[in-house]
Amino acid sequence: MREKMPLSQRAKQFLPFDAVRGLRQALLAKEFEVEAVQKGFLAEEEARNISSILASLQGGETLEAKYFSNGHYYFAEGKGKLVYEEGYLLIDELKISLKDLFGLRVLAC
């Protein structure tokens, strides 16, 4: 008589099975689309706070930024650098348009 497969192993045998190829990706894409929101307005106080922080940047500070992109708000954290002439904030390799910034904090110098 064959030994019973442990329950934890039985569930794993069905993981690679996808009844309709690409269905998961299509559902995720649709979910992303449905959850999209319109870009809000930046409060005057927050705009002053962002402006003050941008004016004081020396380059290389660790920043946390809240920004808007493709119908969603995101957070990015990393070493920041202001590229004023081109109108964006660079956090590590991510370019964030200054028009899309909704929050900014200095985490470490």
Please give the Cα distance from 95 to 20 (Å, whole number).
37
**pLDDT per position as a tens digit, 1-25:** 677 777 777 766 666 666 778 888 8
Task: Write down the pTM of the prediction.
Answer: 0.73
H helix intervals, 1-109: 7-12, 23-34, 44-56
Per-residue tens of pLDDT for the chain, all 109 residues = 677 777 777 766 666 666 778 888 888 889 888 899 999 999 999 999 999 999 999 988 999 999 999 999 999 999 999 998 999 999 999 999 999 999 999 998 7
For the chain, the structural domain boundaries read 44-108
Q: CB of 57 within 8 A of CB of 108? A: no
Q: Sheet harboring 101-108: ordered strands across?
A: 94-97, 88-91, 72-83, 62-69, 101-108
Which residues, in sequence order, are CB contacts of 98 under 8 Å at separation 6+?
54, 87, 88, 89
Q: CB of 46 within 8 A of CB of 105? A: no
Give pLDDT, residue 15: 63
Q: Which two tokens stand for residue 5?
A: 């497969």
Give pLDDT, residue 62: 96
CATH for 44-108 (3.40.50.720, 2.30.30.520, 3.40.190.10, 2.40.30.30): 2.30.30.520
